[in-house]
Amino acid sequence: MARNEKEGQVLPSVKKRIGVLTYRGEKGFIEPGFLRRMVREGEKMNLEIFLFGPQDVDFTARKIRGFTPTQGGWKNAWFAWPDIVIDRYRYYPIPKHAGYLAFRRKQIFRYANSRFANKFSVHGVLEQDPILRKWLPQTLEYSRESLAHLLQRHRVVYVKPTNGTGGRGILRVVRTVDGYQLQGQTKQKKKITKQIASLGHLYQRLEAWMKHEKQGAERFFLQQGLELSLVPGRTIDARLLTQKDGTGAWRLTGMGIRMGAKRSSTSNLHAGGRAIPAARFLTEHFGYEMTKQIFGECRELALRTVSRIEEHFGPMMEFGLDLGIDVHGNVWLIEMNPKPGREIFRQLGQNQRYLEAVRRPLEYAVYLLRNEQQELS
What is the rounded average pLDDT for all residues in the chain?
89
pLDDT on residue 230 = 83
Task: Give the residue from 109, 113, 67, 33 showing the smallest Cα distance to 358.
Answer: 33
Q: In this predicted model, which residue has the larger pLDDT, 94 or 246? A: 246
pLDDT on residue 281 = 94
How far, in Å, CA of 21 to CA of 90, rounded? 10
Q: For residue range 177-186, what is the model confidence (pLDDT) as tens digits?
A: 999 999 888 7
273: pLDDT strictly greater than 70: yes
Residues 6 or more apart in contact with residue 366 via CB below 8 angstroms: 16, 18, 45, 47, 246
Average pLDDT of the segment spanning 147-161: 93
pLDDT on residue 4 = 46
Give 373's pLDDT tier (boundaries 50, 70, 90).
Answer: confident
pLDDT on residue 164 = 63
Task: Give the residue from 253, 230, 226, 374 showing the smallest Cα distance to 317.
Answer: 253
Average pLDDT of the segment spanning 2-12: 45
Give 50's pLDDT tier (boundaries 50, 70, 90).
Answer: very high
β-pairing, 28-29 vs 179-185, is unpaired
Q: For residue range 207-227, what is the model confidence (pLDDT) as tens digits?
A: 998 888 887 777 899 999 887
CA distance to 155, 194, 267, per residue, from 171 (Å): 14, 11, 13
Q: Is 150 helix (H, G, I), strand (E, B) or coil?
A: helix
How far, in Å, CA of 163 to CA of 121, rounded? 11
Q: Is 348 helix (H, G, I), strand (E, B) or coil?
A: coil
Tell me the percentage of the chain whose pLDDT exceeds 70.
92
pLDDT on residue 18 = 98
Give 1's pLDDT tier (boundaries 50, 70, 90).
Answer: very low
Give 254's pLDDT tier (boundaries 50, 70, 90).
Answer: very high
Q: What is the pTM of this model?
A: 0.86
Q: In this predicted model, which residue has the larger pLDDT, 277 or 72? A: 277
pLDDT on residue 82 = 97
Burial of 179 (0-12, 13-18, 19+ CB in 10 A): middle
Q: Is 271 helix (H, G, I), strand (E, B) or coil?
A: helix
Backbone angles phi, psi at 140, to 5 degrees: -135, 150
How far, in Å, CA of 63 to CA of 53, rounded? 13
* Cα 106 → chain centroid: 23
Give 107's pLDDT tier (boundaries 50, 70, 90).
Answer: confident
